[in-house]
Copies of this chain bind each other. A is one copy, B any other.
Amino acid sequence: MHEFELIAAIRRRCCDLPANGFEGIGDDCAVLPLAGGEALVFTCDALGEGVHFLRAATPPEELGSKALAVNLSDVASMGVRPVATLLALSLPDGLEAGWAERFIDGYTALAERCGVALIGGDTTRSLDGIVLSITAIGRGPQSQLKRRRDARPGDTIFVSDRLGASAAGLRDILDGRIDTPLAAIHRNPLPEIEAGEWLGKRSEVHAMMDLSDGIASDLRHILEASEVGAEVEVEAVPVAEGATLRDALCGGEDYKLLFTADGAAADGLARDFGAAFGRPLYPIGRITDSGLVWLRNSQPTDETWQGFRHF
C-alpha cells in the first residue's frame, strides 16, 4: 500500500472522531489554539533503518541529530518555534555497545543548540532494525501560523536555500562514498528554525511547508490544500553545488522551507531576509489559478517532475 493511500485511509476514519479544539490533519503540524492568542502545534515523524538511513553508514550521533532535525523542521515550517519533543526508540537485539548513548548524545546536542526540551518518550525492543519516532511540539502566536492552504494566485513561490544536496549525498552513500561533503549534508540536516520563525512573523508570507520529499512532491501539497496552481521556472530552482536539477526538484530530505508570499511584497521580503540572514531567498515561480506547469525561459514545457516516494 502506498504511503499516501494509507494516510488517506487514516484521514477518512478520523472524520468521525471529535476534534477537541484541535485543527485536523493536513499541515506539517496539527494546531491547538489556546487562550490569549497563543497556539501549540504538534507533529510526529518516524525514521526506519533501511528506509530513511543505513546503520553502517550512519554514526549514531548523526542519526540522533537528524531524527530530531526532521521534526523540528516540521514545526519551523508552521512559522513558530519548537519547544519540546517526545522520543520513542525501538532497538533490535545485538546493537553495538554504546549505540543508544551515542544516539542520545547527538539528539540532545541538537536539542540544546535549538533550545528544545525532551519531555518524555519510550524505549522498546524491535525484531530487526532501528525504528525511531519523534513527536515535536511548537508554541507561538496564532497570528504567526503558516499553513499549506493559504497560497493565493499571484503569490511568488520561494525556497529558503539551495536544494538537492541531501539527495546527492544519499547517492554518494549508496555508492559507498560515505565521507563526502554531500554525504555529510545528507546525514546532518539543520532545521530552518530561525528562518521559519522570522517568516512566521511576516504577514505577506501565505502558505509554507518544509521540503522533505522534493519540490515536485511538496509543492503539490500546497497546491492541493490551497486549490490553486503554479508555474515553476525550472532554471530558477537553486541547485546546491554537486547536486543535479533532478536532485533539487525530486530529491528528498533537504529540510529547507518552501513558501508563497504576496507577489507585490516579494522583493521587499527577500531584501529583508537577506539583511537578517546574510543569504538570499530564491523565487522559483508563482501561484496560478490551477494546474502545475514547469517553465523554461518563461515558456511552458511538457516536463513532468515527481517527488520522492517512501514506499
Binding site for B on A (CB under 8 A): 1, 3, 6-7, 9-10, 13-14, 16-22, 24-25, 29-30, 32, 34-36, 40, 42-52, 83-84, 86-90, 100-101, 104-105, 108, 111-112, 115-129, 131, 133, 135, 137, 139, 310-311
Contacts and interface: CB of A to CB of B under 8 A. Distances in A.
Given A45-B88, A100-B9, A120 B29 contact: yes
Contacts of A29: 120
A17 B84 CA distance: 10
A140 to B, nearest CB: 12
A1 B84 CA distance: 26
A30 to B, nearest CB: 4
Contacts of A111: 17
Given A35-B35, A127-B129, A122 B45 contact: yes
A128 B128 contact: yes
Nearest to A90: B131
Nearest to A100: B6
Which 4 pairs between the two chains have the least Cβ-Cβ distance?
Answer: A127-B129, A88-B133, A128-B128, A30-B119
A128 B89 CA distance: 15
A24 to B, nearest CB: 7
A16 to B, nearest CB: 6
B84 A115 contact: no
Contacts of A42: 84, 86, 119-120, 135, 137
A121 B111 CA distance: 21
> Max chain B CB contacts within 10 Å: which of A21, A40, A51, A90?
A90
